[in-house]
Amino acid sequence: MSLLILDSTEDRMQLVQEIFDRQFKQDKKLSSEYDDYRKRQMLKDISYNLECLETALAFIGQSGTLWHPSPPSPPSPNDPITATLLD
């Protein structure tokens, strides 16, 4: 489940439906291979993935990057592994 509430669920559902329809248009075998249950699951997956993407984009928009790693601390010369590597 996404962390953000979407502005317009109707717009999102239209996009989900369009993505779903395009999948079936591009791969003609899906209609015959997928039963109704699998089609519903596919719709849910598209919706979930779109929500996750929207959440990631919202965080990127706030900070300019998705992940802020802390800068690595310099190795301590007293650390036995560092001391071995420096020898």
User: pLDDT tens digits for 46-75?
Assistant: 999 988 888 887 777 666 555 555 666 676
Tens of pLDDT along 9-55? 788 889 999 999 999 999 999 999 999 999 999 999 999 998 888 88
pLDDT for the residue numbered 3: 45
Which pTM does this prediction carry? 0.60
For residues 69 and 24, give the distance between their C-alpha atoms in angstroms, rounded to a whole number. 40
Q: If you search the block for the tokens 């089609």, which residue do you land on?
A: 39
pLDDT for the residue numbered 19: 94
Maximum Cα–Cα distance across the chain: 66
